C-alpha cells in the first residue's frame, strides 16, 4: 500500500487553476522530489496535502485512510509534518525549547517530550547548540532547526519546501547528508529548485507545470523526458550557465 495517494486533486483561486487534477503516488520510505517552474503549483499542492488549504476537488489518502477534509492539526497527529519555505522558528527561545514545543504535538507517545527533542537534535546534528538562542543561529542552522522541529513530530512523512534556499554549497552538502539520515525513519517529500540536490537525493521525481503533473519517474527518466526539458530543465540549465 502506498503511503500517500491523491486522486484528481485540484485547487482554484477564482478563475485560476493553481492545481489541476493531480494524481500523485508517494511510496513509503522514499525520498521523492517535486519540481517545476515558478508558479507551477508546487507549494499549493503540498499545502493541500498537509491541510493548510482546502481542496476545490479530488481526494487524498494517507496510509489507506481518506484525509481529504481532515484539518491540518489532525494530519500532524496522523504523521504528516510540513516545513515552510521561510524559516518558522521561535527566535527568543533556545534551540532545545523550539524542538520541545514541536515534540509536544508528536504522534509518538512512547517517549517523553525531552527525549524526543534530544533525539531530533542529535539526528540533525544540532545537539551541541541546544542551549543557544534560536534567533542567534546562523541562517543555515535555522533551516536545520526547522527540520529538527519537523523530525520531533515523529512523522511518517516529512514535507520540505525549498529547504536549501539561501544555503552555501557546504551547508547544502551537509543538508543532503542530514536528509539521508532522517530518511532512515521517515519518508521525505522535497520541493526543490536546486537540481543537483534533487538528482543527488531523490529516488523518484514528479514534475508540475501550470498546475498539472506532466511527468513522474526516476532521476534518469526525468532528465530524458522531452516534456520536462521543454517545461523546466532546459530553463534551469540555461540559468545555471549564465
- As a whole number of angstroms, the distance between CA 139 and CA 224 comes to 35
Q: Residue 227's pLDDT is what?
A: 87
**pLDDT-derived band of residue 18, with 50, 70 and 90 as boundaries?**
very high
- As a whole number of angstroms, the distance between CA 128 and CA 25 comes to 38
- As a whole number of angstroms, the distance between CA 97 and CA 103 comes to 10
Q: Residue 238's pLDDT is what?
A: 46
- As a whole number of angstroms, the distance between CA 216 and CA 25 comes to 9
Q: Order of strands across the sheet with 65-66?
A: 16-26, 4-13, 57-62, 65-66
Report the share of the chain in percent with pLDDT over 70: 94
Q: How many CA atoms lie within 13 A of 168 on its CB side?
A: 6
Per-residue pLDDT, averaged over 9-17, amounts to 95
Residues across the chain: 242
- As a whole number of angstroms, the distance between CA 162 and CA 194 comes to 9
State whether the Cα torsion 124-175-135-133 is positive or negative.
Answer: positive
The full set of domain ranges for the chain reads 1-78+198-242
**How confident is the model over 38-49, as pLDDT tens digits?**
999 999 999 999
Cross-strand bridge partners of residue 189? 32, 159
Which CATH code for domain 1-78+198-242? 3.40.50.300
**How confident is the model over 77-131, as pLDDT tens digits?**
999 999 864 557 999 999 999 999 999 988 777 788 999 999 999 999 999 999 9
For the question of whether the overall pTM of this predicted structure is more than 0.85, the answer is yes
**How confident is the model over 49-62, as pLDDT tens digits?**
999 999 999 999 99
φ, ψ (nearest 5 deg) of residue 58 = 100, 180
CA angle 34/38/41 to nearest 5° reads: 55
Question: What's the mean per-residue pLDDT of the chain?
Answer: 91
- Cβ atoms of 10 and 60 closer than 8 Å: no
Amino acid at each position: 500500500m502506498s503511503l500517500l495517494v491523491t486522486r484528481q486533486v485540484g485547487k482554484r483561486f477564482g478563475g485560476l487553476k493553481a492545481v489541476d487534477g493531480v494524481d500523485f503516488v508517494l511510496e513509503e520510505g522514499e525520498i521523492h522530489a517535486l519540481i517545476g517552474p515558478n508558479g507551477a503549483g508546487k507549494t499549493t499542492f503540498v499545502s493541500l496535502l498537509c491541510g493548510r488549504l482546502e481542496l476545490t476537488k479530488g481526494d487524498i489518502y494517507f496510509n489507506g485512510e481518506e484525509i481529504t477534509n481532515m484539518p491540518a492539526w489532525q494530519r500532524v497527529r496522523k504523521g504528516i509534518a510540513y516545513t515552510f519555505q521561510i524559516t518558522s522558528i521561535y527566535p527568543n527561545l533556545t534551540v532545545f525549547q523550539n524542538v520541545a514545543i514541536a515534540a509536544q504535538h508528536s504522534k509518538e507517545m512512547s517517549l517523553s517530550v525531552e527525549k524526543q527533542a534530544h533525539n531530533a537534535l542529535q539526528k540533525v546534528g544540532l545537539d551541541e547548540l541546544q542551549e543557544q538562542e534560536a534567533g542567534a543561529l546562523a541562517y543555515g542552522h535555522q533551516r536545520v532547526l526547522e527540520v529538527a522541529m519537523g523530525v520531533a513530530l515523529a512523522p511518517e512523512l516529512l514535507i520540505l519546501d525549498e529547504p536549501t534556499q539561501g544555503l552555501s554549497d557546504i551547508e547544502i552538502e551537509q543538508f543532503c547528508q542530514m536528509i539521508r539520515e532522517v530518511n532512515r525513519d521517515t519518508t521525505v517529500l522535497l520541493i526543490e529548485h536546486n537540481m543537483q540536490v534533487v538528482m543527488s537525493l531523490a529516488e523518484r521525481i514528479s514534475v508540475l507545470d501550470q498546475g498539472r503533473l506532466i511527468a513522474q519517474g526516476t532521476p534518469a527518466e526525468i532528465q530524458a523526458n522531452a516534456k520536462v526539458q521543454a517545461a523546466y530543465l532546459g530553463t534551469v540549465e540555461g540559468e545555471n550557465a549564465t
